[in-house]
Structure 1
Amino acid sequence: MRRILILLLAAAGASVAVAPSPAGAAVCKDYADQAAAQRAADTVDADHDGVYCEGLPCPCLKPGAAGGPSRPAAGRHRRQAFRLGATIRLGPRTRTHDCAVRGPLPDPRCTPGAVYEHATRPRVCDPGYSAMVRDVSDTVRDRVYAEYGIGRHRASTYEIDHLVPLELGGSNSIANLFPEAASPAPGYHEKDRVEDRAHARVCGGARTLRSTQRSIAEDWTVLYRAYVLPRA
């Protein structure tokens, strides 16, 4: 009797082992673009920042964008920001009104860029770092739009972007925020791709974190031409 029971259990185990995987996409290559993967939200979010399949071509969506999943709650993780030290501006912030974008670039008088003092390479390369420190309120977003004189607009027209991205040690300070348009290209979709590739180079040791922060703050389109256009 015992032998029969063992054989039955073995047979059941074998049937489980060969059972087909559940239907549905589970890898990025199942999607034509990042926006589609973001809407589905059923792939692996490798760095836990709420953005799926960041390597796929645009059109793109970020957490909280129309049609995408809501932003991951920072909640208990926000205390991590207090261990990042002071915000260091990469230039003086001399204006708080009548700011004007310069194509894909912010007004340096209003948005000189800013980084966290203790946002080191090991920290920013730790999976989930961006989600842990992301903390920009709707009130601050409205203030940025007001400083740049932007009133009513469609949700997909602009996004309040970090000039120096969080994944590269950027601060949530208003000195590091500006309204970035989606079009004409390069816009915020293209900047997302620059950020991902710059992050990969920093974490792979090909670039230093501080020099990359400076390059993006001064003119991120230089890295766009270096990293994205050759692959387009």
Structure 2
Amino acid sequence: MRSTQRLSCAVAAIALAFGGLALTTGSAHAATACSQSHLPLPDAACQPGAYNPDVTQSTIRSTICVPGWTKTVRPPVSYTTPLKIKQIGQYGYTDTTTADYEEDHLIPLELGGAPKDPKNLWPEPRYGKQPAASKDSVENKLKVAVCNGTVKLDAARSAIATDWTTALSKVGIG
């Protein structure tokens, strides 16, 4: 193994260890396998979603509806990158380039999704028919609707957790 490869493996192993994960036989291995058959959605058995207990309908004015609030709860890349590496392995993606995936919150921080819960984070591809960026506008529209009172928080969360591609129509906004 060349010294640059050894260095890359060592850096990956340190990043994984920092995130509480392990590197074995050259790649991140997981206890469970997740299916790609649900794309552009995550496998619900692996990522069913999780809520931040601090965000409820009665706290939205002091949490998600405050500009910049998500920055206060967003996990650092030192946490999300090792998790992304592990989950790329769980999903069996042949493309293992981390830049090709967004470690995305199924229930977005904008709707009070759990910031660090692996049940709410998954490696969403940045490519394909409905890449990761497509979900961002749905998240923003749902947050606006929740904050202006046209959609209840639980309805928005349920709709996006079930299928973000149909979430807006499920809650009655276009």
1-side partners of 2:71 and 2:94: how far apart?
Answer: 28
Quote the residue 1:128 is aligned against.
68
Using CA pairs under 8 Å that are at least 6 residues apart, name the structure with larger relative contact order, 1 or 2.
2
2-side partners of 1:96 and 1:107: how far apart?
Answer: 15
Quote the residue 2:157 is aligned against.
213
Offset at 1:225? 6.0
Alignment length, in residue pairs? 135
User: Would you say 1:107 and 2:51 are equivalent positions?
Assistant: no
Secondary structure class of the residue paired with 2:35: coil
Return 5+ residue gaps in structure 2 as ranges: 1-29
1-side partners of 2:33 and 2:98: how far apart?
Answer: 22
Secondary structure class of the residue paired with 1:124: coil
Pairs within 5 Å for 1:119-198:
119-120=55-56, 121-122=60-61, 123-136=63-76, 137=79, 138-150=81-93, 152-171=95-114, 172-198=116-142
Q: Does the 8 Å CA contact 1:114/1:175 hold for their aligned counterparts?
A: yes
Q: Which runs of 4+ in 1 moved over 3 A?
A: 151-156, 224-227
Return 5+ residue gaps in structure 1 as ranges: 1-94
1-side partners of 2:136 and 2:96: how far apart?
Answer: 21
Residues 109-168 of structure 1: CA deviation (Å, up to 9, x unaligned): 000000111213221111111110011512222222222123553454321110000111
Identical amino acids, percent of aligned pairs: 34
Instruction: Give the structure-1-normalised TM-score.
Output: 0.53
Instruction: Give the structure-2-normalised TM-score.
Output: 0.69
Offset at 1:215? 0.8
